[in-house]
Structure formats: C-alpha cells, structure tokens
C-alpha cells in the first residue's frame, strides 16, 4: 500500500523588525509624474510697535524654496502554480501578498536612505558620541525642528552600551505615546529607529545615523500606492502583479545631519552624558 506523503507546514513569518521609513517622512499625494513643492522658509523678521492709527509697517513677504520632484514606477510579478495553490495547507495567495508588502517597504527604504545620507556630514567617535549628539540636538538644529534618530544596528549597539557618569544606561525604552510603538528606544529624550547596517552604510559594522526632522527633511511624492492584480498567464498558474509609483527628494536641507561614528582607539564604551 502506498502511503501518500503529507508535509504539514504552516509557515510563520519571520520577526518583522524592518522600520518603514516612509511612515516617518512627509508623504504628499500627487496627481502628476513630476512637479515642484513649495517649502516655506522660516520667518526672520518680526512685528514692530506702532502708534495708534499710524499706517501699518510693511512686513517681509514669505520666502519659499521650490523642491523639484519626480516619481518612478516600481513593479513586478510573482508566479504561482495552480498545483501549489491547491496543495498548500495555508492561504498561499495571502502569504504572497504579505511578501509583496514587505518588498514594497524594502523599496521605500532603499529610496529614502540616499536622501538621509545626503544631509550635512558629522563625524564622532564612541568617546565623543554623546557630546556630538547633544551638540547637534541643542545647537546645530533649530529649536523649531522635531527630532528623531535613524541609526544602523551597529550604532544602536554602541548606544545601547553607553552609560553616564553615574553608571546609568543612556538608552531608555521608547514611550509609545511619542513613537507609535515603532522606535527601539530613546536617547537624550529623542526616539531611536533602527535599520540595517547596509541601508545607511556600505558594509556590516558601519555606524551611521540621521539626526533631525524627518518630516521637514524628506518629501515623499506618492503618485500611486501599491496595487495588486492577477495577470493573464499561459502557464497553469497565476501571476500576482504589483505596481506603485512614488519619488523621494530632500526638502529642507537644514532639517538634519548624517553622522558617522567610529570606535575610539581606547575601546571605551563609557559616554560623557550627565
């Protein structure tokens, strides 16, 4: 008697630790393939005291910086055989849809990363990392900007081991009220989002970070969100096609800095935070 082979396999998705950077930037719906987006510059003038019934002084006109944007089309298809669909113990089409969603996040991040890398460069060592971050947050960035850190895993590991002079760790658990539960922690009161080393760097072990206002710094022109469709096929199966259109550009060049950290020669992991 032949006993049919049956492999019961209910796949469980890997732990999803990928941050969708597109949710942290300014996502603007657009209806054309290219255009300009006006960024209102910060006002530097002020009102003056005026005597009763005196003529109104002339205020400076608002200044705008025009950001040119354009969108690209990103698409592809995954073939599914009818045998695989019929023999699967789980909803195979739903799993493929989930996979396409993960691929779209990878695409968003890959397009946003070069924009983050293009901001003004700063260099730190592990011994000076905390002081360097404090200077960016307290001095270099205008107080009007919001603040966030997008760091590579290796830099996050460095931050996770830093202590202040009293031996207390500087990295704290993130508050869901300020990070929507997507940050890995907070440093100096700023939420920290973690990405892979090779997204912001070029190799494993690279310690890189964007520090600043993601929404002011990055424009995400959203022309068409991810759409799924079954495509015609001559095979005994189906093609699940996906397509979306978007573009990413730097908006406010003063909204952030790109930090490269290197380990100090001494190998010390103690910070200088107070």
pTM higher than the cut 0.85: no
Token digits of residue 257: 């800095």
Token digits of residue 80: 């599914």
CA dist 274 and 269 (Å) reads 15
Select from 137, 111, 110, 132 the least CA-distant residue to 255: 137
Number of helices and strands (H, E) in the chain? 7, 13
- pLDDT averaged over the chain? 83
CA dist 163 and 166 (Å) reads 8
Confidence label for 46 from pLDDT (cuts 50, 70 and 90): confident
Residues near 44 by beta carbon (within 8 Å), at least 6 away in sequence: 60
pLDDT of residue 37: 83
**Secondary element (H or E) of residue 64:** strand 64-70
pLDDT of residue 264: 67
CB 164 within 8 A of CB 188: no
Domain range annotation of the chain: 21-41+63-262
CA dist 252 and 213 (Å) reads 9
Q: pLDDT above 70 covers what percent of the chain?
A: 84
pLDDT of residue 9: 46
Select from 225, 231, 49, 209 the least CA-distant residue to 129: 209
251 burial type by CB count under 10 A (0-12 exposed, 13-18 middle, 19+ buried): buried
Confidence label for 159 from pLDDT (cuts 50, 70 and 90): very high
Total residue length of the chain? 274
Partners of 171 in the β-ladder: 187
Better pLDDT: 27 or 232: 27
How do residues 66-99 score in pLDDT, each as one tens digit?
A: 889 899 999 888 887 777 777 676 777 777 778 8
Residues near 4 by beta carbon (within 8 Å), at least 6 away in sequence: none
Partners of 28 in the β-ladder: 221
Low-confidence winner among 15-19, 53-57, 73-77 (lowest mean pLDDT): 15-19
Indicate the CATH number of 21-41+63-262 among 3.30.590.10, 3.40.50.1400, 3.30.9.10, 3.90.1690.10. 3.90.1690.10
**Secondary element (H or E) of residue 228:** strand 218-231
- β 148-152/207-212 pair status: antiparallel
Mean pLDDT of 7-30: 73
CA dist 177 and 186 (Å) reads 12
pLDDT of residue 13: 54
CA dist 5 and 84 (Å) reads 15
Confidence label for 130 from pLDDT (cuts 50, 70 and 90): very high
Partners of 73 in the β-ladder: 245
CB 74 within 8 A of CB 106: no
pLDDT of residue 17: 63
pLDDT beyond 90 at 231: no
CA dist 225 and 105 (Å) reads 12
Low-confidence winner among 29-33, 185-189, 263-267 (lowest mean pLDDT): 263-267
């Amino acid at each position: 008697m032949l006993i049919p082979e049956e492999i019961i396999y209910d796949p469980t998705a890997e732990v999803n630790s990928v941050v969708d950077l597109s949710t942290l930037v300014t996502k603007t719906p657009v209806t054309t393939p290219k255009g300009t987006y006006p960024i209102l510059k910060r006002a530097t003038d002020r009102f003056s005291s005026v005597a009763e019934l005196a003529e109104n002084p002339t205020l400076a006109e608002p200044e705008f910086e025009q950001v040119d944007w354009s969108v690209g089309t990103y698409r592809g298809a995954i073939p599914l055989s009818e045998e695989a669909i019929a023999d699967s113990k789980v909803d195979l089409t739903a799993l493929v849809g989930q996979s396409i969603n993960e691929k779209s996040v990878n695409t968003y991040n890959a397009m946003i990363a070069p924009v983050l890398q293009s901001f003004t460069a700063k260099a730190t060592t592990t011994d000076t990392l905390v002081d360097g971050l404090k200077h960016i947050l307290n001095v270099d960035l205008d107080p009007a900007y919001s603040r966030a850190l997008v760091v590579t895993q290796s830099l996050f590991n460095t931050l996770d081991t830093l202590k202040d002079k009293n031996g207390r760790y500087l990295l704290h658990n993130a508050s869901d009220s300020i990070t929507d539960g997507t940050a890995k922690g907070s440093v100096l009161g700023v939420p920290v989002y973690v990405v892979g080393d090779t997204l912001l760097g070029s190799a494993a072990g690279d310690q890189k970070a964007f520090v600043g206002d993601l929404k002011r710094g990055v424009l995400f022109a959203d022309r068409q969100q991810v759409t799924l469709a079954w495509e015609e096929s001559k095979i005994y199966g189906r093609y699940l096609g996906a397509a979306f259109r978007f573009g990413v550009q730097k908006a406010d060049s003063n909204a952030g800095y790109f930090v490269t950290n290197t380990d100090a020669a001494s190998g010390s992991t103690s910070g200088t935070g107070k």
